[in-house]
Amino acid sequence: MNVSVSASTTAHVSPPRSVSARAPRPRGLYDLSAAELETRVSDQGLPAYRARQLWGWAYRQLVTDYSEMTNIPESLRGPLSRLAPISLLEPVRNLSSDDGETIKTLYRTGDGQVLETVLMLYPNRATVCVSCQVGCAVGCAFCATGLMGLTRNLGAGEMVAQVVGAAREARLRGRELTNIVMMGMGEPLQNYTETMKFINIVHDPDGLDIGARRITVSTSGVVPRIDALAAEPLQLNLAVSLHAPRDELRSKLVPINRRYPIATLMAAVDRYIAKTRRRVSFEYALMRGINDSEQTACDLADLLRGRLCHVNIIPLNPVDVLPYERPNPEGIERFAGILRAAGIPSTVRYSRGLDIDAACGQLRAKELELPAASRIPS
């Protein structure tokens, strides 16, 4: 952090909250791995199986209150709840798309930050789109979250709480949560430690048991952390937000490209593929007159040819205060057709939840001052 204070004043100065990217560190249940919970429980002289029971209630039954944990004696529930409090995010508002298949939840954190999570129900899977930061420091030109700048990182527990909330929403609709995409607010590879901690908790086979192949980390291209991710024991899906095949254009759209230009990024992607043998996805938000020309499609095909990859062409979700537009359907088809003809596997994906501002790049907690009537009754 860029704050220096002299030794004599240190004790009186607390870091300014608005510039700190660090998450507060409440060590509630959702912040703990199963092993950490077990240690905490054993340290109190309680048997380890109590921790396992608690884990099952939290992540199998999705119980959010100690009073519902019926096989734990009442006399133990109080001490356990103090040992590992369930620090839920406070839901402020729930919005459902017209077809009921996309549900956006707006949450308030303990320190009053607002963030958003989206649950998407498909015939064969239920996917939650998780936020990992309040705002984002990368500042991509077309992204609503980027407009906010970074307020702070989320802690692992705050990400777990989003997933538990989505799993409960899914279950209310007779569905089980199957997939996680780190495509909400924020850049997961700029909040690496908490993101990995979160992933390990939701992956735990005795808990939510979301398989590594069902977890996707999306990045604007933080190269050293792509290498770190490749070295993790869990082999996750990697999505790289490319959006342009040439440095001049990409640096304008995705400013981190100035630090890690395309050649550097592609070398990291190649190392990721070599190490994991997993296909990498490239996200490409298609913008009219910006990155949708025939020449750009040909350049993209040249860049990606021969790589184990897939391109997701996402027609831009326009953000009201930004000047970028979505191409018309013919423009989208022309671009996709060039990639297809060049043999680059690609799919045009329309984002879910446009009618509730839940689409890619639209997640921006702008509803900070909600009238009381719009709050979810508890």
Cite the active site residues: 116, 360
Minimum separation from the CB atom of position 72 to ligand SAH (A)? 38
285 part of the interface to ligand SAH, by CB under 6 A: yes
Least Cα distance to 202 among 247, 154, 160, 158 occurs for: 160
Neighbours of 300 (CB within 10 A): 26
| The residue to which tokens 């921790």 are assigned | 51
- Considering only residues 205-224, where is the footprint of ligand SAH by CB under 6 A? 218-220
Query: What pairing do the DSSP bridges indicate for beta strands 133-135 and 150-153?
Result: antiparallel
Please, what's the b/e burial string for 161-194 (b: 16 or more CB within 10 A of its CB; e: otherwise)? bbbbbbbebbeeeeeebbbbbbbbbbbbbbbbeb
Minimum separation from the CB atom of position 217 to ligand SF4 (A)? 12
Tell me phi and psi for residue 20, to 5 degrees: -85, 125
- Considering only residues 225-284, where is the footprint of ligand SAH by CB under 6 A? 241, 283
At 95 the three-state DSSP class reads: strand
Distance of CA 303 to the CA centre of its chain: 27
Return the one option of ligand SF4, ligand SAH, none that residue 139 interacts with (CB less than 5 to 8 A, by type).
ligand SF4
Minimum separation from the CB atom of position 110 to ligand SAH (A)? 23
**For ligand SAH, the closer CB: 353 or 361:** 361
**For ligand SAH, the closer CB: 41 or 256:** 256
**For ligand SAH, the closer CB: 157 or 221:** 221
Query: What is d(CA 263, CA 336) in angstroms, rounded to the nearest whole number?
Result: 23
From candidates 89, 134, 183, 226, binder to ligand SAH by CB under 6 A: 183
Which residue's Cβ lies closest to ligand SAH?
Answer: 361
Query: What is d(CA 286, CA 266) in angstroms, rounded to the nearest whole number?
Result: 20
**For ligand SAH, the closer CB: 89 or 359:** 359
Stretch in the footprint of ligand SAH (CB under 6 A) among 4-12, 28-36, 140-148, 265-273: 140-148
Minimum separation from the CB atom of position 285 to ligand SF4 (A)? 8
Neighbours of 354 (CB within 10 A): 15
Minimum separation from the CB atom of position 130 to ligand SF4 (A)? 12
Distance of CA 8 to the CA centre of its chain: 41
Tell me phi and psi for residue 23, to 5 degrees: -80, 150
Which residues sit at the interface with ligand SF4, rule CB under 6 A?
136, 138-140, 143, 145-146, 186-187, 220, 241
Binding positions for ligand SAH, rule: CB under 6 A: 136, 140, 142-143, 183, 187, 218-220, 241, 283, 285, 314, 316-317, 319, 360-361
